[in-house]
Structure 1
Amino acid sequence: MSLLVKICGLSTRETLDTALEAGADMVGFVFFSPSPRHLSLETARELGREVKGRAAKVALTVDADDATLENIVETLRPELLQLHGKETIARVRDIKAKFSLPVMKVIAVETSADLAALPGYASVADRILFDARAPKGATRPGGLGAVFDWHLLEKLDLKLPFMVSGGLSADNVAEAVRVSRAGGVDVSSGVESSPGVKDPELIRNFIRAARATEELMVR
Structure 2
Amino acid sequence: MTQADAGGVAVKICGLTRPEDARAAADAGARYVGLVFFDPSPRNVPLDRAREIALEAPFGVAKVALTVNATDAFLDGLVETVPLDLLQLHGRESPERVAGIRDRLGLPVMKAVGIADAADLPEIAEYADAADQLLIDAKPPRDADLPGGNGLSFDWRLLAGRRWTQPWMLAGGLTPDNVGNAIRLTGARQVDVSSGVERAPGVKDAGRIAAFVRAARADAPG
1:3 corresponds to which residue? 9
The TM-score normalised by the length of structure 1 is 0.96
1:157-172 → structure 2 map (5 Å cutoff): 157-172=163-178
2:19 and 2:54 in contact (8 A); partners too: no
Distance 1:149 1:74 in 2: 39
For residue 122 of structure 2, the aligned residue among 99, 108, 116 is 116
2:77 corresponds to which residue? 71
1:27-176 → structure 2 map (5 Å cutoff): 27-176=33-182
Secondary structure of the 2:127 match is: helix
What is the CA distance between 1:155 and its match in structure 2?
3.3
1:20 and 1:54 in contact (8 A); partners too: no
Q: 1:113 to 1:56 in 2, by over 3 A?
A: same
Q: Which moved more, 1:193-202 or 1:183-192?
A: 193-202
Secondary structure of the 1:117 match is: helix
2:26 and 2:58 in contact (8 A); partners too: no
Give the partner amino acid of 2:17: S
Q: Which runs of 4+ in 1 moved over 6 A?
A: none
What is the CA distance between 1:54 and its match in structure 2?
3.7
2:161 and 2:187 in contact (8 A); partners too: no
What is the CA distance between 1:50 and its match in structure 2?
1.3
For residue 17 of structure 1, the aligned residue among 23, 32, 35 is 23
1:80 and 1:103 in contact (8 A); partners too: yes
What is the CA distance between 1:151 and its match in structure 2?
0.8
Q: CA RMSD in A?
A: 1.0
Q: Identity of paired residues, percent? A: 49
1:199-210 → structure 2 map (5 Å cutoff): 199-210=205-216
Unpaired segments ≥5 residues, structure 1:
none
Unpaired segments ≥5 residues, structure 2:
1-5
Q: Which moved more, 1:28-37 or 1:116-125?
A: 116-125
Q: Which moved more, 1:142-151 or 1:117-126?
A: 117-126
Q: How many residues get paired?
A: 216
Distance 2:181 2:80 in 1: 38
What is the CA distance between 1:134 and its match in structure 2?
0.5
Secondary structure of the 1:122 match is: coil
Distance 2:198 2:53 in 1: 18
Give the partner amino acid of 1:165: A
